[in-house]
Amino acid sequence: MQAIQGIHHITAFASDPQANADFYHSVLGQRLVKTTINFDDPGTYHLYYGDKVGSPGTIMTFFPWQNAARGRRGNGEVAAVGYIIRPNSLSYWQERLKQHGVVVGETQQRFGETALSFQDPDGMTLELVATDDPATIAFWNDGSIPEEMSIRGFHGATLWVESAAATANILTEQLGYTHDQTDGARSRYRGASADVGVTLDLLERSNQPRGRMGAGSVHHIAFRTVDDAEQEAYRQKLSAAGMMVTPVQDRQYFHSIYFREPNGVLFEVATDAPGFAYDEPVESLGQSLKLPDWYEPRRALIESGLARLVYPGTDKVIS
């Protein structure tokens, strides 16, 4: 059983699905790689964005609830999601985001890297972290952003926690993360990979309120395992450590187990396989509504309950 390599995907709540798709696909240049439904709530879309094929470490996913109230950031949640960009593309992104009406703050220096912070249409905090670290992705050639300027997958995520020690213990003792650096209240941990989605920052905020879930809130963060056997080994190890781990859930494109770590952040351990080309070719990923077999008989009813969604940048309604 190898140490966790890093982040597999991050899942958040949004409000308007079209605004969400337009922002992530067209503004950030993250390909809409899967249009499906929330398997636990089939009246809601589940939209996935990533590199050309939706490689683990690049996948940001959303449950958009039309007219959902915004969440409130607080302890016990992932409070910021970081993407890798190359240092020479910082000014490109500052300009691009401004042109799309995104308010861009001052850059911040963090552990020797420059981070540009802004919010998505639902107020979720995103960061573009300028680094020369390796970031192997399947670049999506048909997007609107040149490769040298493009987002290179996840840099990492920042968790707001009441007390960092218990979460740090899960990361290092159960998941194989190593402590990297600490600067004040922020401690950085690294997964075993030297590539995408490696860092996890714990920001300790003692005596601060917990978050309230809503649009713009991260629902959970998923970590990578290679296959079902390794995932089962993690399920047993985490259970033995006192975590309440769910049975394996079939998420069609990966298999998942979930548990809530001691500060209340929902963690998932997901398999790399089978991936997003499981039910449609890479060339047309995301362009039609995909349902798992067990929902296919109810397709007409499900489609009638979903908001109209146009494939970003086109006039083609997704169905």
Report the relative pairing of strands 249-250 and 186-190 from DSSP bridges: unpaired
**Given the complex with Zn ion, which of 11 and 55 has the nearer CB atom?**
11
**Given the complex with Zn ion, which of 215 and 257 has the nearer CB atom?**
257
Burial class of residue 304 (count of CB atoms within 10 Å of its CB; 0-12, 13-18, 19+)? exposed
Stretch near Zn ion under the rule CB under 5 A, chosen from 146-154, 165-173, 205-213, 220-228: 220-228
Stretch near Zn ion under the rule CB under 5 A, chosen from 4-12, 43-51, 172-180, 183-191: 4-12
DSSP 176: -
Sign of CA dihedral 131, 135, 139, 143: negative
28 forms part of the interface with Zn ion (CB under 5 A)? no
Q: Among all chains, which residue has been given the structure tokens 């908001």?
A: 307
Name the minimum Å distance from CB 14 to Zn ion. 15
222 forms part of the interface with Zn ion (CB under 5 A)? yes
The helix (run of H) or strand (run of E) holding residue 240 is helix 228-240
Here the tokens at position 194 are 């030297």
Distance of alpha carbon 129 from alpha carbon 127, whole angstroms: 6
Q: How many residues bind Zn ion (CB under 5 A)?
A: 3
| Residue 112 bridge partners (DSSP) | none
Name the minimum Å distance from CB 220 to Zn ion. 5
In the chain, the amino acid numbered 302 is: I
Distance of alpha carbon 102 from alpha carbon 212, whole angstroms: 24
* C-alpha distance from residue 214 to each of 21, 101, 283, 304 (Å): 18, 23, 33, 24
**Given the complex with Zn ion, which of 261 and 268 has the nearer CB atom?**
268
**Given the complex with Zn ion, which of 48 and 189 has the nearer CB atom?**
48
Footprint (CB under 5 A) of Zn ion, residues 233-252: none
Identify the residue among 6, 7, 11, 102 touching Zn ion (CB under 5 A).
Answer: 11
**Given the complex with Zn ion, which of 120 and 268 has the nearer CB atom?**
268
In the chain, the amino acid numbered 115 is: A
Name the minimum Å distance from CB 113 to Zn ion. 27
Would you give the binding string for Zn ion spanning residues 264-283, x where CB under 5 A is met? ----x---------------
218 forms part of the interface with Zn ion (CB under 5 A)? no
Residues of this chain that interact with Zn ion (CB under 5 A) are 11, 222, 268
